[in-house]
Amino acid sequence: MIYYIGFGSNLGEREYLIRRAIRLMEQQLGKLLGEAPLNYSQAVGFASEHEFCNTVALYESAFSPQEVLTCAQSIEQQLGRPEHKAVVLHGKREYTDRLIDIDILMAYDEGLDVQMETPTLTLPHPQMQMREFVQQPLRELIDKLIADATLSFVKMHGLGNDYIYFDCTGSSQAWLLLPVVTTYAPLLCDRHRGIGGDGLVFILPDKKADLRMRIFNADGSEAEMCGNAARCVGYYAVCRHLVKSKRLRLATKGGERLIEVKDREHISVHMGKPADQGTQTIDERTYHCVDIGNPHAVTLLTDNDALTKELVHTVGPQVENNPLFPNRTNVEFCVVIDRHHVAMRVWERGSGETQACGTGATATAYACIRQGLCASPVTVTLLGGNLTIALDGEEAIMTGEATIAYTGTITINGQMAND
């Protein structure tokens, strides 16, 4: 696990205690990966008139959060931390001086943010967002570690729907991006100043499934599921021998998916049971709402001539951000060609128009079948190529290709090298 741990003292002259605490944690907890420089700020809300001295350190450890907390409390006592007392003056909670204070700010287990609340521990730290004197060194630490790191990546695409993939199964280095992904995703996905892509995908180990996928849109927002990315992860896992067979279970935020890899051009993702969520009317246009682990709004057009870039780029963002969809939505524009063929363009939530969208194709085919306009299997033609959507009972199965474009390394201080 990865732990971001804060060290503080209400007494500015106690800096040496913080240095000592950082080293003791390293000896007892695990590997120290980096630390932020000490920062000083006025002690607002504390009984002490001294400055508040703090720093943030990053550790890699096999210990559980509760074990780390116990370790921190032991070190506090060892270094002479007095009993914690709080006083209320004029209705305001203030704190007595402390020689040393150690808090777990954030933790990551297999690339997942650890969320937990017990009588003694809450993760992430409940007051972290309110405390700029903690946020500042935390940002400095992460930025420094990222700037010093050389990150390996793989550029893959499914029918042109391209993502930057970080294989975290053998290294946790790319996890450094997770707390600041909203900052770095737009930079990395910029097609003029970065690698370029529709988003970032982290390929992670998982305790139950064969692998886990976390996917972030180009704007840094996290998506629940992506069919094209799932196919790419499945193909990559088989090619790199991350799994023992050509069938694997992939955990996603939208649920677990079974992937079957026949060859590069025939990779099937069992998308689960689509959920029909009724219709919405926006500006006199009807949208069929379907959930495939992530939300979609599908609208039918009368002919291919109506399926234009202007329509997608004008109406797409308006529907994506419509108040009817509190978590925003993906938007599909489609034309039925015949009973087994649909043409589609997609405006993806957080990324804009993309060459293809596997969950969008699945939602579109499902919506057309539900309305009696099509029958399974349905070929969905997107800007990047074709996907086949079949219904097996109530489950949708998507089949298409995946391509490994290139591999490379990046240091995010402006130096990039592609293989």
Q: Where in the sequence numbering do the catalytic residues fall?
A: 226, 357
First vs last Cα of the chain: how many Å apart? 30
CB distance 153 to 185 below 8 Å = no
Q: Cβ atoms within 10 A of the Cβ of 83, count?
A: 6
DSSP strand pairing (211-217 vs 247-252): parallel
Name which of 134, 138, 142 is nearest 41 in CA terms.
Answer: 134
CA–centroid distance for 13 within its chain: 40
Q: Which strand (E) or helix (H) includes residue 129?
A: none
Structure tokens at 414: 């402006």
DSSP states of 137-176: HHHHHHHHHHHH--EEEEEEEETTEEEEEEE-SS--GGGG
> Is the separation of the CB atoms in 257 and 249 below 8 Å?
yes
